[in-house]
Structure formats: C-alpha cells, structure tokens
A and B are shown apart, each in its own frame.
Chain A
C-alpha cells in the first residue's frame, strides 16, 4: 500500500502562468477528491470523481480550474492564468467506497505559491 501520492510537492510560479498538479490515488480506489487548503483553515472541497466521471464541482472551482481523471486512474488539476489568491495547499484524497461510512485517504498535498 503506497498511499496517495501527489506531484510536485511544491510549485512556485508567476502570476498569469498555468500550472498542473498530479494525483495518484491508492490502487483500486474509484473515488478521488480534490481539496484546497489555505493557511489556518481546514481543507475546502473542490471536486470529486467516481471513476473517470467528474460528478461534483464546488463553486470555488472557477473556470480557470479544470480537473481530469482519464481512465479512472490518476487525476490532474490544472489552474490557468494563476492569481496570487490561488496560493494554497492542494490536497488529493481517494476512497474505496461509495456509501457511508466513507474513509478518505489523503495525499501529502502540493503547495502552490503564486508570485
């Protein structure tokens, strides 16, 4: 069990650039979540996938954000035209089950700094 992995762990970019993060869930976990966490706050839900289908998106996910999960395996989160307000920790979690009680397994996160 290798756990959820995320790459890169850290990313520094200039305002206006595009960035892409990758999440590899635990093998055979069919649910995958993206969260964003700013300093001093708990994680905030962004979006989730059931296999390759993106089933829910938060209003936090502006049109500059896009997430994919081709073939229901790894997922990518892309932010276009980054803004300083996008600076945060981006967390990925996966889960093996659909019904309660659900346990989500989180990755270590990707910390983004937009200059």
Chain B
C-alpha cells in the first residue's frame, strides 16, 4: 500500500554526503514525492518534496529520475543530528487524503 521501497537502514560518516534511495515504480503522473524524517522521540518533520524536477532546499536535495520511478534524497554533509528514520512517500489524488508511511530508512551517522 505504501507504494515505495526503501532500504531498511544505512550508515554514513559525519561530514560526508548521504544518498538515500527510494523506488516508486508505480508512480502516476500527478503523484508528488515527499520526504519526511523522524528524529528519535519526535514526530515526523518535512524535508522536501518534488514532482518532476530536482529540488534543493536548506535541508537537502531531491534528485528525481527521468522516468520518475525512483528518487534519491541527498544530504550534502551528514551531521550527528541527521540520524533519523527517513520516509519516502507518494501523495496524489489517487491516494486519498492521508500520507501512507512505509517503515522508512534508518540512517545512522558515525562520528
């Protein structure tokens, strides 16, 4: 039902870039790709979203494949505070009114 596939866990060294992949082969033309993250003992927080073009904001970059069947969240320089569970979510008119979260990718950042 989540319609996205992410690795269960990833590790990164502090100050290095991190590429978090997400597969969404059944994406439709009007679906937005959203990324949220959840730090320990907190609610999820918005990271970034995109439709077709790559997107940048102060937190991260989102690279979307040309066929839109996959995307990659890029953290340019991981810090210890980026250790969290990262969720890739499709959202569009076909999915009703709520976000459907999968289990996400647990990112560990090593000092």
Contacts and interface: CB of A to CB of B under 8 A. Distances in A.
B68 interface: no
Q: Is the interface of B mostly helix, strand, loop or mixed?
A: loop
What size tier do the contact residues of chain B reach?
Answer: 20 to 34
Interface residues of A, number: 25
B19 interface: no
A86 to B, nearest CB: 19
B49 A104 contact: no
Overall SS of chain A's interface = loop
B92 interface: yes
Interface of A: 4, 33, 35, 40-45, 48, 55-56, 58, 91, 93, 100-109
Interface of B: 2, 30, 32, 34, 41-46, 49, 51, 85, 87, 91-93, 96-104
